[in-house]
Each structure stands twice: as structure tokens, then as C-alpha cells.
């Protein structure tokens, strides 16, 4: 049985931990409100970009010279996966869910004879995949966590992906991230970026006579060359905002659970401490009474 001194030290240590987890919970809650608002504000714009380019894709379907960001390279051999995680931990299973979905995708693609490349975003993703899949990593991005995510991060990442696609080094590109649902729920999601999935825009089910007609000025190739890289950056930025909101929500939930668990541990150890102290007092009284009777 632990001594009273050891029990007091353990209770004091857990109380200090509870103060830290409680403070981290409040900080995450404050960041969550701002991150959630940013993620929700970006969704309509990203959806509108996908819908508009989906209609443009139908309009130019079958024509030659379609950009690779829209139609791909025409092959399905090399897949680039871009897992988005946080730079820090202490957020429950937030990062491990992305890791798990990415590993499942890697194994599925490799079993089909496909070549897989990785471009991890976030220190947690880089640390995880550098252990077992270091030979698949072509590049990485860190330092994306913070109060605000600048659009330049998505712009730089989009340029890297675009360069790989245009060089013919990548046939298919997909993001793997946690889509924010609420503070307790983040859904692991895989979103294909290159080539664009027509089903996402719903254009595949729209009759040809109901599709919007566009007149291009100066021409289709120039317009798409401008819009497609921008759309790639917008989709990446929206996913980064979803990741930031999910990270803060997961951290707030994890710290709330840790604070509750610390409180229960303190209550349990306090009961043990009181029982041990009462036992020691009782033993001392018995010794005093026994000594007095012997005298």
C-alpha cells in the first residue's frame, strides 16, 4: 500500500495535470469557434467552383487539348495521396483516423498494381509515414497549424501538385482529411482532385440539353488554364480549413475527457488517502491503548 506522502504527491500531480488540460480545453474551444466559421464559410465557394467547372467540363467534353487537371493524363498508374493532419498531438484519434484511411488506400492501390506517392501535410503525417513509407514520400509541408491558415499554403501546395501532374509524374491525386461535422465528430474523407470527378458536381446525370451553355473569351483553353489551378487551390484550402476546425474540436473533446478522468482519479485517490490515514490513526490508537493496558 502506498504511503500517505506518496498519495499526496500523486494527488497533487494529477491536480496540476487537470489545470493544464482544463486550460487547453478552453483555448481549443476559443479557437474552434473561429475555425468552424471559416470552414463553413469556405464550403459554398468550394462547392460552387466544383459545380461550375463540372459544367464547363461537360461543355468541352470530347474536344482535344483538355488540361490535365481536368481530364488527367489518360492513365491510372501513379496515385498521389495528400494526407492532411495537425502539427501537434493531444487531439484524440484525429490524426490516427487520417493515417488509417491513408494506409488502407495505399494497400488497396498497391494490391491493384498501382504506384503510390505521398505528400504529407502536417508534422504528424510526416512523422508517421516516414517510418514505414519513407520511400513513397515525394515532398512534405509542415507548420500549417495556427490561428489562421493563409491561402498561400494552399497556393504553394496546389502548385506542387500541378507541377507533378503536368510533368506526367502523377496520374491521379486525392486528398485525405477529416471533414468537420461537429466538435465530437470528424469524418475521415478521401476527395479526388485530379482528374476531376464529374459525379461530385452532379453533371454526369444532367441531360446534355439542360447543361449551361458557355461562350469562351478568349478561348476554352485559356479560361480553363486559369480556372483549374485556382480550383485546385480552393479545394485544398477548404480541406485545410476543415482540418483546422476538426483539430480544435477533437482537442477540445480530448481535453474535456482528460479533465473529467483526472477529476475521477483525484476522487478515487482521495478516498484511498482518507482510508489509509484513518487506518494509520486507528493503528496508533490501538498501540497507545495496548501500551497503557500493559503498564
Query: Residues 24-73: pLDDT tens digits?
Result: 999 999 999 999 999 999 999 998 888 888 777 766 666 666 778 877 77
Confidence of residue 202 (pLDDT cuts 50, 70, 90): very low
Q: CA-to-CA distance for 263 and 214, rounded, in angstroms?
A: 63
Dihedrals φ, ψ of 2, to 5°?
Answer: -70, 150
Tell me which H or E stretch contains 92.
none
For 205-231, b/e burial (b = at least 16 CB within 10 A) is eeeeeebeeeeeeeebeeebeebbbeb
For 107-164, give the DSSP string: HHHHHTT-EEEE--BSHHHHHHHHHH-GGGB---B----SS---HHHHHHHHHHHHHH
Q: For residues 9 and 27, what is the distance between their CA atoms, to the nearest angstrom? A: 28
Q: What is the secondary structure of 183-222 as a DSSP string?
A: TTEEEEEEEEEESPPHHHHTGGGS-GGGSPP---SS-HHH
- Rounded distance between C-alpha atoms, residue 165 and residue 196, angstroms: 13
* Structure-derived torsion over alpha carbons of residues 172, 231, 236, 169, reported in degrees to the nearest 10: 30
Q: What is the pLDDT of residue 149?
A: 86
DSSP, res 259: H
In 3D space, the residue among 145, 139, 129, 125 whose CA is nearest the CA of residue 173 turns out to be 139
Residues that are catalytic: 91
Q: What pLDDT score was predicted for residue 257?
A: 94
Beta carbons of 235 and 156 less than 8 angstroms apart: no
Preceding omega of 22 cis (within 30 degrees of 0): no
Q: What is the pTM of this model?
A: 0.84
> Could you tell me which residue, 91 or 291, shows the higher pLDDT?
91
Q: Tens of pLDDT along 109-141?
A: 999 999 999 999 999 999 999 998 999 999 998
> What was the pLDDT predicted at 209?
55
Judge whether residue 19 has pLDDT over 90.
Answer: yes
Q: Is the N-terminal amide bond of 195 cis, ω within 30° of 0?
A: yes
pLDDT tens profile 96-112: 999 999 999 999 999 99
Q: CA-CA distance, 137 to 77, in Å (whole number)?
A: 17
Residue with cell 468537420: 180
Q: Which three cell numbers stand for residue 61?
A: 467534353
- Please answer whether residues 233 and 158 qualify as being in contact, where contact means their C-beta atoms are separated by less than 8 angstroms: yes
Nearest to 247 by CA among 101, 102, 89: 89
C-alpha 279/C-alpha 285 separation (Å) is 10
Closest CA to 116 of 190, 177, 174, 194: 174
Over the stretch 235-265, which tens digit does the pLDDT of each residue have? 999 999 999 999 999 999 999 999 999 999 9
Amino acid at each position: 500500500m502506498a504511503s500517505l506522502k506518496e498519495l499526496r504527491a500523486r494527488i497533487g500531480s494529477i491536480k496540476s495535470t487537470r489545470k493544464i488540460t482544463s486550460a487547453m480545453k478552453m483555448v481549443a474551444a476559443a479557437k474552434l469557434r473561429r475555425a468552424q466559421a471559416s470552414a463553413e464559410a469556405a464550403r459554398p465557394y468550394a462547392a460552387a467552383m466544383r459545380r461550375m467547372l463540372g459544367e464547363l467540363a461537360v461543355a468541352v467534353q470530347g474536344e482535344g487539348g483538355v488540361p490535365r487537371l481536368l481530364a488527367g493524363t489518360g492513365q491510372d498508374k501513379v496515385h498521389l495521396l495528400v494526407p492532411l493532419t495537425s502539427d501537434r498531438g493531444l487531439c484524440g484519434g484525429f490524426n490516427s483516423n487520417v493515417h488509417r484511411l491513408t494506409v488502407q488506400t495505399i494497400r488497396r492501390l498497391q494490391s491493384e498494381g498501382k504506384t503510390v506517392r505521398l505528400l504529407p501535410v502536417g508534422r504528424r503525417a510526416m512523422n508517421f509515414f516516414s517510418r514505414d513509407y519513407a520511400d513513397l514520400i515525394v515532398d512534405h509541408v509542415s507548420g500549417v497549424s495556427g490561428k489562421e491558415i493563409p491561402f498561400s499554403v494552399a497556393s504553394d501546395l496546389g502548385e506542387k501538385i500541378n507541377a507533378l501532374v503536368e510533368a506526367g509524374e502523377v496520374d491521379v491525386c486525392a486528398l485525405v482529411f477529416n471533414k468537420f461535422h461537429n466538435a465530437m465528430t470528424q469524418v475521415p474523407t478521401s476527395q479526388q482532385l485530379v482528374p476531376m470527378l464529374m459525379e461530385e458536381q452532379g453533371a454526369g446525370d444532367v441531360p446534355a440539353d439542360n447543361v449551361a451553355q458557355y461562350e469562351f473569351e478568349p478561348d476554352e483553353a485559356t479560361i480553363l488554364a486559369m480556372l483549374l489551378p485556382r480550383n485546385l487551390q480552393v479545394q485544398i484550402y477548404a480541406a485545410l480549413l476543415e482540418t483546422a476546425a476538426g483539430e480544435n474540436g477533437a482537442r477540445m473533446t480530448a481535453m474535456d475527457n482528460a479533465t473529467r478522468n483526472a477529476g475521477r482519479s483525484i476522487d478515487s485517490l482521495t478516498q484511498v488517502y482518507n482510508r489509509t490515514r484513518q487506518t494509520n490513526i486507528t493503528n496508533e490508537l490501538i498501540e497507545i491503548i495496548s501500551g497503557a493496558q500493559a503498564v
